[in-house]
Chain A
Amino acid sequence: MGTVDGGGGGKSGTVKQLNVGGKLFSLEASSLSLSLSLDSPSPTPTFVDRDPALLSAILAAIRAPSSAALAFPARVLLNEAHFYGLHAQLLAALSPPPLRGFSVSLASTLSPASEPYPTALAPHHDGSLCLSHGIGQVTYYSPALDHLATFRTHLHRITSLRQLPPSLVVLGSASAPGLHVYDFLEGRHVASVQWWDPTDTRVSKAKVIAIAALPPADAADNNSPILATFESPHRENCIVVVDPVTLKPTQEIGRQSGSAAKSSTPGRVVHLPALGLVFASFVSSGAFGYSGYMRLWDIRSGNVVWETSEPGGAGRSSRFGDPFADADVDVKQQAIYKVCSKSGDVAVADLRSLGNDPWVYMSSGPRGSGGGYGSLLHCHQSQVFVSRKDGLEVWSRLEEQRHNTGDLAEQSGTNERPKSEGFDERSYRSCFVDTEEDAKRGMIQMMEGGGDRLFVSRVEIQGVEVWETSHLAGAISLS
C-alpha cells in the first residue's frame, strides 16, 4: 500500500510486506527497524498486531513533510513510529524547514497550563524547548513541540536554564543559592552544585546568574562542560566549570571582586569549544545609559585573552557615547555581535583578529528615538536576531552573493581585501522578522534559537512564541 524510499531513490532495497492488523503495507526493509527487518523474506506478509490507521498516518506524514493537519496527535505517531523504526524519519518530516530569519512567521504560541509567564528559555538543537515559568515551574516540550512534562522545582523564580540531554535540565535562580540539576521526565532533583572556596568563608550561598551548557545551536558532544556564573552575597563572582557527567565542579575561572561595574557578574556566558575560550559579557543600564564589558577567558589557563568595556575603552570617538546594550557570540562564524544602545546599530567583531577596535558597524537606517534601548541580541544559525522597541530584526549574510561578486570586489580596491576576508558591512542585510501587530504585543523579554525554531517571550505576556520558516503559502481564501 505504501513504500518509503530510504533516502537514495536509485538504490532499491528489498521490499517488505507487512500485514498490520489485517491491512497490507509494503515498506523498504532498510528503512524498517531491526526487529522487523530481520525476519527472513517469506511469501506471506509478516503479521503485526498494530493499528493500520497509525501506520498509514505515519507514512502520509513522511511522504508529505511539513504538510498541515495530522490525523493523530504527533506524539501518538512518534511513539508508534518507534516500533517500525521510522521515528527519525517522522521527526524529520514533522520538523520545520531550516530557519531563515528573513522568511519566518509565527507558527504557534506555547502556553503552559498554569502560571504561563516565562522566566527562562532553554531550547535545544533538536527543536525541543525547556521553559521555566511562573513560580518555579519547568515545562518540557518535545521536538515535535508536544507538551511532555511540567514539574515544580524547589526554587521560587528560575532565571537561568539549560538543557542537558537526554533528560536533564540545569537551572539556577538569581534569588536562591546553587546550581540545580533536575530530571524533567521524572520531575526529580538530581544534584546541586555550589561554589565553595575553602580559603574564603565569604564565598557561600552563591547565586547563579547565567549558565552556558552545550551550545544549543549545534549538536555538540555530550562532554562539553557546563559553565555557570556564580555571585556570592558580597558580589564576588566567578565562572564555575561543571563536569556534565559527574555534575561536580572541576574548575573555577575568571574570579572577580564584583566591586565595580568592570568586575560584576557576567549575565551572559558562551563557551567557544573550538577556540578553548569562554566569552562573558555584563551589561547594566540605568538613568545614565548602558555600561558593560565583554571579556574572553582562556578556559585552560584562566587568563583574560581580550576585553573591552563601554563606555570608555579604546573605541573610536564617533561611537563614544554609544555603549552596547547586548552582545552575543556566533560560535560557528567566530564573531562577536553587539547592538549599540543609542544608535541601535549592530556591530560585528571577528574573533580571529580582535584588536583595540575590532568593530565593523552596520546601520539599518534611521531609527526612532530609543534606538537600541532595551534591545536584545541573539545569534542563531549564522543569523543575528536583534529585538527592538518596535520589532524584531534579523541580520543575515549575503554569502552567495559575496562569492559571486568576488571578482568585482577584487577589482574595486585591494585595500578592501582584509575586510572582506573577515566581516564586511556590505555583506549583511537586515529585515524585520515580525509585523507591526506582533510588535504591539510588547517588548521582547527573552529570545532563544533552538534547531530550526526561534522562541520569543514578551514582557508580561503569557506563553512563548514559536517562529518557524514555513513552506506553506497560507493562502487566505476570499470566496
Chain B
Amino acid sequence: MDAAAAVALNVGGELFQTTAATLSRAGAASPLASLGPSSPSAPHFLDGDPRLFAQLLSFLRHGRLLAPAPPSASLLAEARRFALDGALLASLSPASAFAPLSLRPSALLPLAGRVPPSAVAVCPSPPHPASLVAAHGGVVTCFDAALATRASVLTPLPAVDSLVAVSPALALAGARDFPGVHLCRFSDDGPAAAAVPEVLSWPGSPSATVLSMAATVPSGAPSAPWLFASFESARRNSSAMVAFDLNSLSPVAEIGRKEVFGADVEAAIPATKLGWLCEHNLLLAAGSHSSPGGVVGDIRLWDIRASATVPVWEVREEEDCFADVAASDTLSALFKVGAASGEVFMADLRRLGNGGGIGLEPWVCIGDGQRAAAAASSRRKEGNGCMIECYCNWVFVTRGADVEVWSQVELAPEAGGKKVMKRNWVGSGPYMDAGAGEEAFKEKAKIVSWAFGGSRMALARADKRSVEVWDSALAKICANP
C-alpha cells in the first residue's frame, strides 16, 4: 500500500498500477520483474493488449487465473512474451488441488489417426506443468498443461507399451517386443540430435526389450532425474534393470541382473512394474509369471546405493499373487491388487521383515478379507486386468471401466487414533443410473492405461481414440490459497 513502491504501467494505452513485489513474482527471467517504481504521470510503457495484460496481472496477484475457463491461446502467447507461460501453465493444474472425490471428467482429447491410445503419462507436476503424453500406435502426442495445443512425434516402435513423461519437452517410450527406450522430443530447440543417442538400451544386451519404466521425480534436490528401465533380452533368458542419468543419457547402474538357466523360469521373473519411492530412496520392482499352476510373482525393493545385486527386501507371491503393485511415499506402504481375489492389500513399509527367515505375512487385506481368502483358495481370477496406482495420499484401482479410490481416514485419538483405509468410486461408479447418465454409462470401456499428475487423472480406454481427462481443479481452483 506504500505509494512509493507503486509501479505504473502503460500497456497499449491503458494505465495499470501495481507494486514491485507483485511484479517480482513473475520471476527473474521475466522483463516485468526488473521494472522499478514509477509515478502514474510517467508510467513504463509496454506494448501489449491491455485486456490480456489485465489477466496476467491478476494472475501475478492471485497466483492463478480467476476465470474458470482454460486460458485462450492468445493469453498464453501474451504470457510467453513476459516469460510467464511456465508459471501460468503450472498453476492450471496444481497438485495441491487434487482431490479424488472431486474428480470430474473435464476434457476429451482426440488423437489423430485410427489407433486407440495404448499408454498415457502425465509430467511430474511440481517442477513442470502437468502436460499430458499419450502413445497411439507408434506416435507419441504431447498435450500442454492447458490442453490447448498438441505436438506429435513418430517413434520407430509399432506400438508403445510403457511411456514416461519427463518434462513437457521429453517423453520416453518403450515396447515389450522391440528393443530400446526411445526418446521423444517435442520441442525443436533441444540439443542437437547427433550429439546424444536417441535410444537408450541395456549395455549388456542392446537388443533387449523394455518391460517397464519409472523415473525419479526431482523433488527439490538438484540431482538429475534418473530413469529406471526393466529390460529383458531378446532371447528372454536374461533380464535386468538399468538406471540412466537423464541429463547425460548414459547408463549409470545395472540392478538385479537375472539369468534363466534351464527351464526354471520362475526363479528369474523379470520386473514388469517399477516404482520409485522418493522419500525412501527405494526402487520397487515387481514381476509375475502366469502358468497353469497359477500366478507366482516377486516383489523386491532395491536400495541402489547399497547394492545392485541384493535387494533390501523381497517377497515371493504364490497365494493370491498381485495383479498389480504400487508404492506410496506419503502413506509409506505398498499396495497390491490380488490377481485371484481382486481385493486390495497393503504392506506397511515400516513393518517389512528384513528378508530371509520366516517373516510375518506382510500383506494386510484392506478390502473384504473373507472374500479375498475364499477367492484365493478357489483360484478365481477376479483381479485380472486390475491396475493400482498411488498418487498423493490416495490409492487408485481400476476395475474394468471404473476407478476405485482408497483414502485414509484418521480417527481422533480418543476414538482410538486408528488410521483406516476406506474405499469409494471415482465418479458415480458402476451403478446403473437411469436418465441422464445412461449414455455416459454406455460410453464406458475398459481402462487400458492411466496416469496422474497435477490435479488430473488421464484415462485411456480400450478402442476409444481419445484420452479422457478428469480434473478436480475446477472445483477447487478458486479456493483461497
A residues neighboring B (CB under 8 Å): 19, 21-22, 44, 46-51, 53-54, 72-73, 75-76, 79, 112-117, 134-137, 139, 146-148, 150-154, 178, 180, 188-192, 460-462
Contact = CB atoms under 8 A, between A and B. Distances in A.
15 contacts: A47-B6, A49-B6, A49-B19, A51-B61, A51-B62, A114-B405, A134-B424, A135-B422, A135-B424, A152-B422, A152-B424, A180-B415, A189-B415, A460-B433, A462-B433
A21 B57 contact: yes
A380 to B, nearest CB: 28
A422 B57 CA distance: 63
A49 B22 contact: yes
Nearest to B415: A192
B409 A152 contact: yes
Nearest to B426: A114
A192 B414 contact: yes
A165 B427 CA distance: 29
A79 B102 contact: no
Nearest to A154: B409
Contacts of B423: 135
A113 B58 contact: no
B105 to A, nearest CB: 9
B318 interface: no
B480 A113 contact: no
A454 B431 CA distance: 27
B66 A51 contact: yes
Q: Which of A47, A48, A49 gathers most chain B CB within 10 Å? A: A49
Contacts of A150: 99, 101-102
Given A115-B424, A462-B428, 12 more contacts: A22-B15, A50-B61, A51-B57, A51-B61, A54-B58, A73-B66, A113-B102, A114-B426, A146-B478, A178-B415, A188-B410, A191-B414
B54 A53 contact: yes
B66 A113 contact: no
B18 A49 contact: yes
Given A21-B16, A47-B6, A113 B422 contact: no
B101 A46 contact: no
* Among B16, B104, B475, residue most surrounded by chain A Cβ atoms (within 10 Å): B475
B411 interface: yes
Contacts of A460: 433
A192 B412 contact: yes
Given A49-B61, A51-B61, A154-B420, A147 B102 contact: yes
B3 interface: yes
B67 interface: yes
Contacts of B103: 113-114
Interface of B: 1, 3, 6, 8-9, 14-19, 21-22, 40, 54, 57-58, 61-62, 66-68, 99-104, 405, 407, 409-412, 414-415, 420, 422-429, 431, 433, 435, 437, 472, 475, 478-480
B479 A75 contact: yes
A89 to B, nearest CB: 19
A189 B410 contact: yes
Nearest to B429: A115
A151 B22 CA distance: 34
In the A-B complex, list the 5 residue pairs whose CB atoms are closest, starting with the nearest.
Answer: A22-B17, A192-B415, A150-B101, A22-B16, A154-B409
Contacts, number: 129
A339 B122 CA distance: 57
A263 B475 CA distance: 46
B281 to A, nearest CB: 30
Contacts of B480: 79
Contacts of B414: 191-192
Given A47-B1, A147-B102, A191-B414, A114 B478 contact: no
A191 B6 CA distance: 49
- Of B61, B68, B428, B472, chain A has the most CB atoms within 10 Å of the CB of B428
Contacts of B415: 178, 180, 189, 191-192
B478 A152 contact: no
Contacts of B58: 51, 53-54
A154 B57 CA distance: 43
A51 B415 CA distance: 46
B479 A114 contact: no
A138 B62 CA distance: 29
A18 to B, nearest CB: 11
Contacts of A178: 415
Contacts of B409: 152-154, 189
Contacts of B40: 22
Contacts of B99: 150
Nearest to A150: B101
A438 B398 CA distance: 36
A460 B437 CA distance: 13
A72 B424 contact: no
Nearest to A52: B54
Nearest to B477: A73
A114 B428 contact: yes
Nearest to B407: A152
B427 A114 contact: yes
B60 to A, nearest CB: 10
Nearest to B8: A22
A178 B17 CA distance: 57
A19 B3 CA distance: 10
Contact of B17 (A19, A117, A136): A19
A268 to B, nearest CB: 27
A75 B433 CA distance: 31
Contact of A75 (B21, B67, B478): B478
Contacts of A49: 1, 6, 17-19, 21-22, 61
Nearest to A117: B431
A68 to B, nearest CB: 17
A22 B405 CA distance: 47
A114 B425 contact: yes
A152 B409 CA distance: 7
A402 B480 CA distance: 50
A464 to B, nearest CB: 14
B16 to A, nearest CB: 4
Contacts of B475: 113, 147
A262 to B, nearest CB: 34
A3 B53 CA distance: 27
Given A51-B66, A79-B478, A150-B101, A191 B412 contact: yes
A439 B153 CA distance: 54
Contacts of B9: 22
B424 A114 contact: yes
Nearest to A116: B428
B428 A73 contact: no
A21 B18 contact: yes
A152 B100 CA distance: 10
Nearest to B16: A22
Nearest to B470: A113
A21 B414 CA distance: 51
A47 B17 contact: yes
B412 A47 contact: no
A54 B101 contact: no
Nearest to A146: B478
A176 to B, nearest CB: 12
A48 B428 CA distance: 45
Contacts of A148: 479
Contacts of B1: 46-49
A114 B472 CA distance: 11
Q: Which of A137, A150, A152, A188 has the most CB of B within 10 A?
A: A152
